[in-house]
């Protein structure tokens, strides 16, 4: 087994960002990849003009790549926000306005995984109030995902980089997954296992894989320290992905790492070209 046995996709919100958004799908295809994922591309626009949605859809289709994951609106990402759905007022309203926009766009491209990022804790607001709002919004998002046959992903971030985020461990993310599924009865809320974030939290990654693979619907990787490509840090990513496969995970592995100073296309030397095309 090894990297060649995985199904990789490229996150076009952290890789190929030296290019305009509409050029990134073709660049990923030129690098040999057949699948891509995205954070919500319009950080200030939860409901962008239809022309912008159409242009991105066309860029993905023309490049011949499959969109396999898409985030709901999460404010400024990367940046201080890290999410919106649990923030009372304007941000959660933006999230709600964005839900069907994301679902419809994803459906038009056959995308089956939608990621909903929790918001930071807000000073002066009872955390219980934020959590109640979060569950309401996650239920709405799960129903929208179910409408298009997709899963709703819940991700744990890491405390050093997101100190105000309340979801900074695998057990906490799983707790939210279970609450959403209990509230909806749909069973389509799943764990997004980001090995970089979990390693930054100091979690035992082998134990996380053993405990939670059955509730995992997407995996993301970057090396640690540095959030660079595999091999730039000390995480045994090849071994960890092998463990995931042996535990029954057969979904995509999102490349969500920083390419460094060189162009993104030069950051894939760790992965043989023939292994970049996802086998469906």
pLDDT digits (tens, 9 = 90+) for 13-34: 999 999 999 999 999 999 999 9
* Per-residue confidence (pLDDT) for residue 280, from 0 to 100: 47
| C-alpha span between 152 and 246 (Å, rounded) | 24
The residue assigned the tokens 């929208």 is 144
The alpha carbon of 188 is separated from its chain's Cα centroid by a whole number of angstroms, namely 16
Tell me if 39 sits within 8 A of 114, measured CB to CB.
no
The residue assigned the tokens 């999102």 is 254
* Per-residue confidence (pLDDT) for residue 76, from 0 to 100: 82
Domain assignment present for residue 178? The answer is yes
Closest CA to 77 of 112, 122, 117: 117
Kindly state the DSSP code that residue 16 receives in the 8-state scheme.
S
Q: Which residues of the chain have pLDDT under 50?
A: 280
Which residues are tagged catalytic? Answer: 155, 256
* Per-residue confidence (pLDDT) for residue 63, from 0 to 100: 98
Kindly state the DSSP code that residue 273 receives in the 8-state scheme.
G
Kindly state the DSSP code that residue 119 receives in the 8-state scheme.
P
Alpha helix stretches (DSSP H) within the chain: 24-30, 50-63, 90-108, 127-147, 170-184, 195-200, 205-212, 237-246
Which is it for strands 35-38 and 216-221: parallel, antiparallel or unpaired?
unpaired
Angle, CA 90 vertex, CA 89 and CA 96 arms, to 5°:
95
Domain assignment present for residue 69? The answer is yes
The domain spanning residue 30 has which CATH number? 3.20.20.150
DSSP codes, 32-62: T--EEEE--S-TT-SS--HHHHHHHHHHHHH
* Per-residue confidence (pLDDT) for residue 279, from 0 to 100: 64
* Per-residue confidence (pLDDT) for residue 1, from 0 to 100: 63
Domains of the chain: total = 1
Domain assignment present for residue 37? The answer is yes
Tell me if 84 sits within 8 A of 94, measured CB to CB.
yes
Domain assignment present for residue 65? The answer is yes
Q: Residue 135: give the domain boundaries.
A: 3-275
Domain assignment present for residue 261? The answer is yes
- Containing 193, the helix (H) or strand (E) segment is strand 189-194
Domain assignment present for residue 280? The answer is no
- Each residue of 105-123: pLDDT tens digit? 999 999 999 999 999 999 9
- Positive or negative torsion for Cα 46, 51, 55, 58: positive
Domain assignment present for residue 117? The answer is yes
Q: What is the pTM of this model?
A: 0.97
Domain assignment present for residue 185? The answer is yes
């Amino acid at each position: 087994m090894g990297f060649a046995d995985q199904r990789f996709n490229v996150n076009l919100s952290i890789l190929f960002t030296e290019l305009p958004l509409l050029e990134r799908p073709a660049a990923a295809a030129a690098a040999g990849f057949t699948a891509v994922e995205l954070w919500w591309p319009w950080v200030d626009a939860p409901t962008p003009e239809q022309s912008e949605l159409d242009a991105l859809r066309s860029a993905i289709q023309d490049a011949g790549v499959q969109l396999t994951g898409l985030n709901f609106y999460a404010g400024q990402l990367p940046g201080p926000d890290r999410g919106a759905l649990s923030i009372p007022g304007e941000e959660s309203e933006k999230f709600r306005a964005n839900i069907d926009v994301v679902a419809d766009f994803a459906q038009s491209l056959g995308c089956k995984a939608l990621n909903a990022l929790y918001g930071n804790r807000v000073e002066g607001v009872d955390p219980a109030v934020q959590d109640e709002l979060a569950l309401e919004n996650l239920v709405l998002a799960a129903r929208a995902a179910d409408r298009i046959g997709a899963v709703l992903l819940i991700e744990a971030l890491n405390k050093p980089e997101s100190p105000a985020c309340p979801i900074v461990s695998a057990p906490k993310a799983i707790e939210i997954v279970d609450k959403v599924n209990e509230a909806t009865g749909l069973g389509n809320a799943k764990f997004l296992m980001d090995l970089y974030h979990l390693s930054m939290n100091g979690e035992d990654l082998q134990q996380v894989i053993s405990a939670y693979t059955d509730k995992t619907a997407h995996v993301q990787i970057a090396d640690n320290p540095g959030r660079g490509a595999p091999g730039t840090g000390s995480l045994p990513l090849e071994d960890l992905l092998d463990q995931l496969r042996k535990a029954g995970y057969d979904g995509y592995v999102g490349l969500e790492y920083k390419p460094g100073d060189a162009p993104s296309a030069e950051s894939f030397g760790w992965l043989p070209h023939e292994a970049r095309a996802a086998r469906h």
